């Protein structure tokens, strides 16, 4: 029996998920998630077969459950080129060994929520991914109606990069999924803020050139033919070049 929320201030420690956690791990998954996982999944988690995981336990419990799971996160290390976000990563195409960490499941039992456990578990994942020099990101899916999870990952500085239509099929109904990414070790998105600013600056520069050209043609139509001498044209062209030069400088500053 879990102690009631607010009955005490828990002392949480984090450790790998162990074979002795099998039954509790499965029970919590059944209680928290609409998706049913196969027994083989849980066996792979507790045995560490292709899955890296962390458990949260409350060592201050007085009911004999000092080593019982109250939270967990399960992850898998996978090849970047075989992932669904390979097109979102900025890296040298010649590198064939780049990796990603995919978060499979993350959960905290209800009585232990709002104690920062989920945040600490995700931080463990980020530290793990960052320690792998050829890893470029941590990513995961969130079902579209899970607003608390969406807000949580946004608060953790994950970027929502894509919405996947009908990604989940649960109890005879389709649900969309959001794809969240946290970049590590320089694996920034191709659509990084810097690239967006550069694209906007280039667009504004080209737009200014077009408008300046149209304005020049419009002014030229209203100049009497006998005044269209070489000196006048040179003056206008010089003025126009100064304007373009100022615009180019502004764009470079951005």
Which run of H or of E encompasses 251? Answer: helix 230-253
The tens digit of pLDDT for each residue in 189-232 reads 555 454 444 444 554 665 676 677 767 766 666 655 555 544 44
Q: Is the pLDDT of residue 124 over 90?
A: yes
Joined tokens for residue 243: 């304007």
Q: How many CA atoms lie less than 13 Å away from 7 in the CB half-sphere?
A: 11
Whole-structure pTM value: 0.71
Average pLDDT, rounded, for the chain? 81
Whole-number Å distance between alpha carbons of 35 and 142: 12
Residue 58: the pLDDT is 95
Q: Is the pLDDT of residue 19 over 70?
A: yes
Whole-number Å distance between alpha carbons of 209 and 191: 25
Whole-number Å distance between alpha carbons of 17 and 36: 19
Give the number of residues written for the chain: 254
Q: Is the pLDDT of residue 35 over 70?
A: yes
Q: Is the pLDDT of residue 253 over 70?
A: no
Q: Compute the average pLDDT of residues 163-174.
A: 94
Whole-number Å distance between alpha carbons of 219 and 107: 68
- 97 vs 226: which has the higher pLDDT: 97
Whole-number Å distance between alpha carbons of 101 and 75: 7
């Amino acid at each position: 029996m879990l102690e009631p929320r607010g009955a005490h201030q828990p002392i949480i420690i984090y450790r790998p998920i162990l074979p002795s956690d099998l039954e509790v791990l499965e029970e919590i998954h059944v209680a928290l998630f609409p998706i049913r996982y196969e027994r083989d999944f849980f066996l792979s988690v507790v045995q560490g077969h292709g899955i890296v995981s962390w458990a949260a336990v409350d060592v201050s419990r007085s009911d004999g459950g000092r080593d019982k799971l109250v939270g967990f996160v399960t992850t898998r290390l996978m090849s970047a080129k075989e992932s669904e976000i390979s097109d979102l990563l900025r890296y040298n195409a010649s590198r064939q060994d780049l990796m990603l960490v995919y978060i499979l499941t993350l959960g905290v039992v209800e009585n232990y929520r709002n104690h920062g456990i989920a945040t600490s578990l995700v931080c463990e994942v980020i530290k793990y991914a960052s320690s792998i020099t050829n890893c470029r990101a941590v990513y995961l899916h969130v079902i579209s109606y899970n607003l608390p999870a969406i807000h949580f990952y946004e608060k953790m500085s994950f970027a929502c990069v894509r919405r996947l239509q009908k990604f989940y099929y649960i109890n005879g109904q389709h649900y969309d999924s959001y794809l969240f990414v946290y970049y590590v070790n320089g694996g920034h998105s191709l659509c990084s803020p810097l690239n967006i600013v550069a694209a906007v600056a280039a667009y504004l520069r080209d737009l200014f050139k077009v408008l300046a050209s149209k304005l020049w043609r419009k002014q030229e139509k209203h100049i009497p033919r006998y005044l269209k001498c070489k000196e006048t044209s040179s003056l206008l062209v010089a003025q126009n070049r100064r304007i373009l030069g100022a615009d180019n400088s502004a764009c470079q500053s951005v």
